[in-house]
Amino acid sequence: MNYNIAVLDGDGIGPEICAGAIKVLNKVGEKFGHNFAFEHLDIGGCSIDKHGTPLTDYTVQRCLASDSVLLGAVGGYKWDNMPGDTRPEKGLLKIRKAMGLYSNIRPAKLWKSLANASPLKYDLVKNGIEIIIVRELIGGIYFGERDKGVDENGVEYAWDTEKYSVPEIERITKIACEMAQKRSKRLVSVDKANVLESSRLWRKTVHEYAAKNFPEIEVVDVLVDNMAMQIVKNPAQFDVVVTSNIFGDILSDEAAQVTGSIGMLASSSLGDSKCGLYEPIHGSAPDIAGKNIANPIATILAAAMMLRDSFDLNEEYNAIESAIQKVLDKNYRTGDIAEDGAIIVGCNEMAELIAAEI
């Protein structure tokens, strides 16, 4: 089969980690008889520098015409002081919106060989952790109305709004329920219903939708502050978690760290079609860009998720996952997941080692 993949390398370590994922995909193609064609497109800071905007219509069109999109990361010091609407991050938000990717799945899993990389006590992680965070991705405060100004007394102000509609909550609840159905049949919904009106609608809608369409799923509500605490107190208690855009952003970084390193976590973003966007959950790490020390595993896993979730290539997904496991078992590590006695390798070498195990 032929697959056309749009690659949005982005900024910072983006190009290095995408190169790693492409290396692994090419090896998968060779082994399983697929042809992956890659089209590199601009997004983020590099797009600002070349085209004066973080996302061009051309990039959007090509992404929509592709079979799926692989993205590295966007942003960097150079563009940090730009106004909100022209920042590199805006490019990422716009492509998510333009492709209608409302469902963002972030599996935070503790790899057996990385138990020592978790900052938590061994006792808390020894039985493994796998939290699937289902984050609403194109609504809420990220996309709500906002403004800033100066009032009549010369005081500067700014505001953003968190707004959700019932259909927006229902469609993400559906994705989370389908996931929970295949797993533990337990769903945790995270909100701040003791304070926010939008969260009260969220809570009511999640319960009504789940009760009507997935009666066998048990839905438990957890307030976001308590959730932040529970993730470090006892992460093994969670399976599928559904939450809003901003809470999902914050909690997924926390869950990532608890499972060892943010350099290990991938995410898939999908809407109603099979054409999705796959990216690591970490950022562009401008401090280590170009040094060949970044961890490419999250991006390689993102590419694997693309094969599974957009192209239905389950065997190929498993091949990548077990190749990563083998390389970790052989004690190879990038700096972020280094431990005593490990063999430290660079970004490029890590990708080569994984490709070699396919």
Closest separation in Å from C-beta 317 to ligand IPM:
21
State the residue number with the nearest CB to Mn ion.
Answer: 249
Sites for ligand IPM among residues 80-99 (CB under 6 A): 89, 92-93
The residue annotated as part of the active site, out of 185, 221, 253, 332, is 253
DSSP H or E segment with residue 277: strand 277-280
Q: Which residues contact 127 (CB under 8 A, 6 or more apart)?
A: 236
Closest separation in Å from C-beta 158 to ligand IPM:
18
310, 67 Cβ separation under 8 angstroms: yes
| Among Mn ion, ligand IPM, none, partner that 354 touches (CB below 5 to 8 angstroms by kind) | none
Asked if 162 interacts with ligand IPM (CB under 6 A), we say: no
What is the SS3 assignment for 174? helix
d(CA 71, CA 6): 8
Q: List the structure tokens of 149.
A: 């100004």
d(CA 338, CA 335): 5
Helix 314-329 to helix 14-32 angle (10° resolution) is 120
| Among Mn ion, ligand IPM, none, partner that 210 touches (CB below 5 to 8 angstroms by kind) | none
280, 300 Cβ separation under 8 angstroms: no
Q: Catalytic site residue 31?
A: no
309, 141 Cβ separation under 8 angstroms: no
The residue annotated as part of the active site, out of 249, 309, 317, 336, is 249
What are phi and psi for residue 334, nearest 5 degrees?
Answer: -85, 170
d(CA 193, CA 73): 32
DSSP H or E segment with residue 135: strand 130-136
Q: Catalytic site residue 192?
A: yes
245-274 footprint of ligand IPM as x/- string (CB under 6 A): ----x-------------------------
270-299 footprint of ligand IPM as x/- string (CB under 6 A): -----------x-x----------------
The residue annotated as part of the active site, out of 192, 209, 309, 317, is 192
Closest separation in Å from C-beta 284 to ligand IPM:
8
Q: Catalytic site residue 312?
A: no
228-267 footprint of Mn ion as x/- string (CB under 5 A): ---------------------x------------------
Burial of 212 (0-12, 13-18, 19+ CB in 10 A): exposed
The residue annotated as part of the active site, out of 85, 225, 287, 329, is 225
The catalytic residues are: 142, 192, 225, 249, 253
Q: Which residues bind Mn ion (CB under 5 A)?
A: 249
Q: Which residues bind ligand IPM (CB under 6 A)?
A: 89, 92-93, 249, 281, 283
